[in-house]
Amino acid sequence: MTKEATLEPELSHPMEELLRMDRIPHIWCPTCGLGTVVTAFASAIQKLEIGLDDIAVVSGIGCTGRVAGYVKIDSFHTTHGRAIPFATGLHLANPKLKTVVISGDGDLISIGGNHFIHAARRNIDLTVICVNNFIYAMTGGQVAPTTPLTANASTMPYGNFEQPFSIPYLADSCGAVYVARWSALHVRRLVTAIAEAIAKPGFSVVEVISPCSTLYSRRNRLGTGLDLMRFYHDNCEIKHGADTRELEIKFQEKITVGKFIDRDRPTFVQSMNNWYGKVFGDEYEPYEGAVE
C-alpha cells in the first residue's frame, strides 16, 4: 500500500530517517545537551543533502560516545580516546565517505589528545564535533582537561587547580582549518557550523558547550539544565574571528562563542598526492581510496 492510499494518519518523528528508532529512548539524562547535538548534526546532514550512505560517524567512549549508537548511518562506537585514529583509518580507506567524529572533551582531548593534535597537524579530512560538558560525566564527574579552574569535580573535591585546555586554541595552534564554538543553546548557529565543518575539506572542529545537570551542575550547585541554558543565554558572547588565545573558559564567566578559524590548507591526501605527483611525475596515480 502506498503512503497516499493509507487512511490512518502516520505518526512519525521528523528525524526518523536519521535515527535508530529501535534504540530510543536514549540513555542521556533529562536536560543533557546531547539530544540537541544529535538533532543539530542530523539537521546539518539534511541541510547539506548528503546521502545517508555517504557519511559515517565515529565515537569514542563516554556519554557523547553513545551518539554513534543512535544515528542511522554507518556508525562506530570504538575505544576510549581512539575515535580519531579509527576515523582516520575509515577516511583513508574511503576518502569519499564524509567521516565525522562525535565525542566528548574527556575522550578527545585527554586520552585522545595526541590523536587530536596530530590529526589537526596532518589536516586529515575529518570533522570533529567535541561536546564539552567540562567533566567526565558517564564515569561519575571526574576532573577533565577542560574543567575550568576552581570548578568542583569528584577528583577535585576542593576545586580544580589544573589549567584546562581551550579547545579552539588547541585546534587552531595545531593547524585545524575550521574552528567554531557554540553552546547547546545556539541551535541554529550550531547546525550551520556543523554543516560548514562537514563541507570544509580538512580537519574541522566544532566545540559544543553542553549542560551536564547531573554531574557538573550538581557538583557546582549551578542549578538545573534550564539554569545552565539561561547562563549560556546571558553569558555567551558571539565574537567571530576572535583571537583563539583569548578563548579560555573561566568558571561561570563569559564564554566567547563564534566561528574563529576558516582557512585553507591542503588535506593529508591532497598533500600526499601533490608531493608524490612531484616526485614521481606521471608514474604516480593519485590515491582516491581503497574501495571501488
Partner 1 sequence: MMENLGLGIMMEVPTVIINVQRGGPSTGLPTLPAQADIMQARWGSHGDYELIAVAPSSPQESFDYMIMAFNLSEKYRVPTLVMMDECVGHMTEKIVIPEPEEIEITPRKLYDGPKDEYLPYRPDEDMVPWMVRAGDGYRFHTTGLTHDERGYPAMNAECQHELVTRLMDKIRTKADEIAVLEEDEVDGADVVVISYGISSRVAIPAVERARAEGVKVGSLRMVTVWPFPENRMRELAKEVGALVVVELNMGQMYYEVERVAAGNAKTILVPHAGGWVHDSEDIYQAIKGGAR
Partner 2 sequence: MNELRISGFGGQGVIRCGYIIGKTAALYDHKHATLTQSFGPEARGSACSAQVLIDDKPIRYPYVSVPDTVVAMSQEAYDKFGGDITDGGTLLNDEDLVKPGDVTGGPKLYAVPATRLAEQIGNRIVANIVMLGFFTAVTGLISSEAAREALPSSVPERFVDLNIKAFERGYEYGLAATGKAPEGEKAAVDAE
Q: Which residues bind partner 2 (CB under 8 A)?
A: 25, 27-30, 66, 137-138, 214-215
**Of the two residues 157 and 281, which places its CB atom closer to partner 2 in the complex?**
157
Q: Is 261 strand, coil or helix?
A: strand
Residue 143, contacted partner among partner 1, partner 2, none, CB below 5-8 A by kind: none
φ, ψ for residue 207 (rounded to 5)? -90, 135
* Beta-strand pair 142-143/135-136: antiparallel
* Residues touching partner 1, count (CB under 8 A): 24
Cβ at position 111, least distance to partner 1 in Å: 10
Between CA 164 and CA 170 the distance in angstroms is 11
**Of the two residues 63 and 151, which places its CB atom closer to partner 2 in the complex?**
63
Q: Is there binding between residue 19 and partner 1 (CB under 8 A)? A: no
Judged on CB neighbours under 10 Å (0-12, 13-18, 19+), 26 is: middle
Residue 215, contacted partner among partner 1, partner 2, none, CB below 5-8 A by kind: partner 2
Residues in region 29-58 near partner 1 by CB under 8 A: 52-54, 56
Binder among 32, 90, 135, 261 for partner 1 (CB under 8 A): 90
| Residue recorded with cell 553542553 | 210
Q: Is there binding between residue 82 and partner 1 (CB under 8 A)? A: yes
What letter represents residue 88's amino acid?
A: T
Cβ at position 19, least distance to partner 1 in Å: 11
Consecutive H or E run containing 255:
strand 255-262
Q: Is there binding between residue 219 and partner 1 (CB under 8 A)? A: no
Q: Is 118 strand, coil or helix?
A: helix
Cβ at position 29, least distance to partner 2 in Å: 4
Q: Contact at 8 Å (CB) between 131 and 38?
A: no
Between CA 83 and CA 76 the distance in angstroms is 8
Q: Is there binding between residue 77 and partner 1 (CB under 8 A)? A: yes
For residue 57, give the C-alpha cell.
560517524
Query: What is the binding site for partner 1 (CB under 8 A)?
Result: 20, 22-23, 52-54, 56, 68-69, 72-80, 82, 90, 94, 96-97, 291
